[in-house]
């Protein structure tokens, strides 16, 4: 049917990316890769709201792997990538609704006329999308040790493909995980996100 529209038809694909090599993300990369830019309420410079723009009080860190979640949630905010100002929640929502906010292509489409758009949870108006909620979700997903929790944060909350820190899988890496244990039990150092 789209062929009979003589170049006037439109095909829409809406999905959550999974990994860099997934078909969904590859479709995004074939387009012009638009990002939604908003003005800083302090300096007026346009910027994308992404994970790099989320800041929280570094004093909320208790140990190398432990955080004071209440303090993280209370202090997390958007930090301007230009002037460094910390935005209030009202300023974040106001910037998103600003008439100056706009979609900006960040690449040349590989197929002329193909538009693609990506947006993170930081643009959402719900309580679950505040920088504080997202920061706690991010830290908690790292704390659980579950691969699926980390992947879900990036895919579902940030609208980005999950990029695992594992660079390569080798026989040596698997050999290092080997240990003696009885059938029906788990090794003492078993990690839930390692599938054997």
pLDDT digits (tens, 9 = 90+) for 6-25: 777 777 888 888 888 888 89
pLDDT of 192 > 70? The answer is no
Cα 76 from Cα 59, distance rounded (Å): 12
Average model confidence (pLDDT) for the chain? 87
Residue range 112-134, pLDDT digits in tens: 889 999 999 999 988 889 999 99
Assign 171 a pLDDT band (cuts: 50, 70, 90): confident
Indicate the burial class of 9 (C-beta count within 10 angstroms; 0-12, 13-18, 19 or more): exposed
Q: What is the mean pLDDT of residues 64-74?
A: 94
pLDDT of 78 > 90? The answer is yes
Dihedral over Cα of 123, 119, 143, 60: its sign: negative
How many angstroms separate the Cα of 173 from the Cα of each of 76, 119, 178? 37, 36, 9
Assign 193 a pLDDT band (cuts: 50, 70, 90): low
pLDDT of 195 > 60? The answer is no
What's the residue count for the chain?
196
Cα 114 from Cα 27, distance rounded (Å): 9
φ/ψ (deg, to 5) at 39:
-85, 140
How many angstroms separate the Cα of 110 from the Cα of each of 2, 29, 33, 146? 20, 8, 10, 36
Cα 59 from Cα 29, distance rounded (Å): 38
The string of DSSP letters for 84-109 reads -PBPPHHHHHHHHH-TT-EEEE-S--
């Amino acid at each position: 049917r789209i062929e009979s529209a003589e170049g006037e038809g439109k095909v829409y694909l809406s999905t959550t990316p999974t990994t860099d090599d997934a078909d969904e993300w590859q479709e995004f990369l074939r387009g012009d890769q638009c990002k939604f830019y908003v003005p800083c309420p302090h300096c007026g410079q346009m910027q994308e709201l992404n994970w790099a723009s989320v800041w929280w009080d570094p004093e909320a860190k208790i140990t190398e792997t432990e955080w004071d979640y209440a303090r993280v949630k209370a202090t997390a905010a958007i930090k301007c990538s230009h002037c460094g100002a910390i935005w209030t929640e009202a300023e974040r929502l106001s910037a998103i609704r600003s008439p100056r906010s706009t979609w900006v292509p960040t690449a040349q489409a590989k197929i002329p006329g193909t538009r693609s758009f990506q947006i993170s949870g930081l643009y959402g108006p719900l309580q679950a999308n505040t920088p504080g909620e997202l920061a706690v979700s991010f830290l908690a997903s790292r704390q659980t040790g579950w691969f699926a929790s980390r992947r879900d944060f990036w895919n579902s909350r940030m609208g980005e493909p999950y990029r695992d820190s594992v660079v390569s899988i080798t026989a040596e890496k698997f050999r290092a995980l080997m240990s003696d244990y009885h059938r029906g039990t788990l090794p003492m150092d078993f990690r839930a996100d390692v599938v054997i």
